[in-house]
Copies of this chain bind each other. A is one copy, B any other.
Amino acid sequence: MTDEQREPERQEEEALTPRQREILRLLIQEYIDTATPVGSHTLRAIGGLGVSSATIRNELAVLEEMGYLAQPHTSAGRVPTVKGYRYFVERLLGDVDLPLPSKRMIRHQFHQIRLNLDQWMELTAAVLAHTTRAASLVTAPHASNARFRHIQLISIRDTLCLMILVLQDGSIHQEMLVTTEPISQEALSQLSNQFNALLYNKTVQEIEESSHPELAALEGWRAEVLRHALYLMEQVDRRSISEIHRDGLINVLRQPEFDDAERLLHVLELLEQRHLLESILAKTLNANGVQIIFGGEGPYEDISDVSLVLSPYGVRGKATGVLGILGPMRMPYGRAISAVQYVAELMSGLIREIYG
């Protein structure tokens, strides 16, 4: 879509030597652990690469030249750039899998809980936040095309009724309706039943196109109810992302890179703004597998210093959602990716069980 993916063939850029890759790998790992710039000495002390610090220095200079590393200032060690992180994640990380005990613990928690969607979301957010020590984001499963499942009209007062609309993806929507004339509960129930019979499993479009005689014949408040229900369904269709559940914010904000109140607030603002977050999550919704978004580049300029590990979940076409984490760019990607992947699989399984 964007031409970012395919820049004018910079393929020629010399590949890294095995030693350079190893140095890059060690450096990033160390930096992720310690949060301090890593120098040639430390690197020599850590690792199995049997060369002197001077050699490492030379290699570091090359890696910096190529844009994988940066120096905060002349007399400091090196720090990975976004390009460095990306290379690390894509080429150096290898296949990671969540440790078995963690998996077991997660599974266990999921089996404990009562079958309640909201509680699920919360649990998922909590589990993700806990296992990755980052902030988690989870959206509820959601069908791209709302299909009617059930409507219920409940009289609250003579001219006021509560409309409860259940869709195929299991989401429940409610709204109060005011009528000009008093309506009895019997009339409401009757209309509910009529709708339940006529609209079952239909999308907004299908309902509008079908122009069923019984529907066309509706008048007054009955027509009004139908209009409202359709309007609600349209609204649901429009929002590709439903409510976002979060957890573990503090995990991220405690990281040393945010010891400055300024930056801390910046991240916080980011998470409070639904807009930005929604648009990011929406992109992942149609992706395959785990996606990693690094802040600070291209379209994500304003979310510097953080990155997101996201994955879609659910059953394509039935009910899908996005879940993942947001953490400092200096993040244990291995664990993060495997955790997100695992939880996404689990959730997909549950969704399949229910809606499959």
Contact = CB atoms under 8 A, between A and B. Distances in A.
Interface of A: 114-118, 149-150, 152, 154, 156-157, 160, 162, 164, 166, 170, 172, 174-178, 249-250, 253-254, 258-261, 264-265, 268-269, 272, 354-355
A122 B335 CA distance: 36
A249 B261 contact: no
Nearest to A173: B116
A272 B258 contact: no
A321 to B, nearest CB: 17
A260 B176 CA distance: 45
A124 to B, nearest CB: 15
Nearest to A115: B176
A197 to B, nearest CB: 12
A207 to B, nearest CB: 19
B268 A115 contact: no
A170 B166 contact: no
A112 B269 CA distance: 27
Kindly report how many copies of this chain are found in the complex they form together: 2
Contact of A177 (B115, B250, B258, B260): B115
B264 A176 contact: no
A157 B176 CA distance: 29
A164 B162 contact: no
A116 B175 CA distance: 5
Contact of A261 (B115, B149, B154, B258): B258
A272 B259 contact: no
16 contacts: A114-B175, A115-B177, A116-B174, A116-B175, A149-B154, A152-B164, A157-B354, A172-B172, A172-B174, A249-B272, A250-B268, A250-B269, A253-B268, A259-B261, A264-B264, A264-B265
Contacts of A157: 354
Nearest to A248: B272
Interface-central residue, A166, A174, A250, A254, by most chain B CB under 10 Å? A174
Contact of A164 (B118, B172, B250): B172
Given A254-B265, A268-B250, A268-B253, A115 B156 contact: no
A175 B120 CA distance: 11
Task: Please name the 7 residue pairs, one residue from A and one from B, whose CB atoms are nearest each other, closest first.
Answer: A115-B176, A116-B175, A261-B261, A259-B261, A150-B154, A261-B264, A152-B152
A41 to B, nearest CB: 30
Contacts of A150: 152, 154
Given A162-B166, A250-B272, A254-B265, 18 more contacts: A115-B176, A115-B177, A116-B174, A117-B174, A118-B174, A149-B154, A152-B152, A152-B166, A154-B166, A164-B164, A164-B166, A250-B268, A250-B269, A253-B265, A258-B261, A261-B261, A264-B265, A268-B268
Contacts of A268: 249-250, 253, 268
A320 B95 CA distance: 54
Nearest to A258: B261
A115 B261 CA distance: 39
A356 to B, nearest CB: 9
A156 B354 contact: yes
A354 B155 CA distance: 11
A162 B170 contact: yes
